[in-house]
Amino acid sequence: MTRKKVENPDEPVTLTKHLEELRNRLLKAVLAIIAASAIVYGFVDKIYDHMVRPVGQLVFIAPQEAFVTRIKIAFFGGLFLSLPVILYQVWKFISVGLRQGERKYTLLFGPLSFVFFGLGAAFGYAIIAPIGLKFLLSFATKDIVPMISVSKYISFLTMLTIAFGVVFELPLVSLFLTKIGVVTPRFLSEKRRHAIVGIFIAAAVFTPPDVITQTLMAVPLLVLYEIGIIFSKMVSKQPK
């Protein structure tokens, strides 16, 4: 009678298994987005009406632009709707590379990451986007009339919303990396200058090319980085 070999959960995982795990997780995430997008497509008109309230009327300058915009709204709406599934797949993939004692943290950080992303997305959509639009449209004159393309506007709004959802994960990432021993509060404090430079570069990449919108993203990011240091100090294991 042969005994079944019991796998050691702390045994290193091969590159092949990592790639196979990544493929499975990506496939599940993509299927969730497709299914959620199909559901959201039935509510595209209502979502569109809510999104264009800050600017009123939009135009489209290409025959296919209005149709493509509907698909774009359905896709991004599906992305938000399937976010719990996506984040679950992300944390499950991360847990493969953790030790047995560290995997329990994914049960906590999974739901928290959804909450933090939701808060960031709401902050970007409801507060930052109207301020940025008001500033950018203030340059209109009687000779310079704004005619905003529907595709450009939807892309601007969704990318800004997603960007703020992602950056609001920063304190949670700092907390998680501290819990598994990758970083320390001292390390985060010492790298503050590098973080400031990186934050302004990220703000320039994820926002339109104007100083106001970039600052509106950079300032919350700086605050979130400091919050991340505070979180790190709260859970940091003091040396014996």
Contacts of 53 (CB under 8 A, 6+ apart): none
State which H helix or E strand residue 230 sits in. helix 211-235
pLDDT tens for 43-69 read 998 988 888 888 878 888 888 888 888
Contacts of 114 (CB under 8 A, 6+ apart): 83, 84, 87
- What pTM value is reported for the model? 0.74
Distance in angstroms (rounded) separating the CA atoms of residues 144 and 4 = 76
Distance in angstroms (rounded) separating the CA atoms of residues 174 and 65 = 41
pLDDT tens for 3-35 read 444 445 555 666 677 778 888 888 988 999 999
> Do residues 185 and 178 lie in contact, with contact meaning Cβ atoms separated by under 8 Å?
yes
pLDDT tens for 70-86 read 999 999 999 888 888 88
Q: Which two tokens stand for residue 72?
A: 């774009």
Distance in angstroms (rounded) separating the CA atoms of residues 101 and 74 = 40
pLDDT tens for 185-208 read 888 888 888 888 888 887 777 766
Distance in angstroms (rounded) separating the CA atoms of residues 43 and 86 = 22
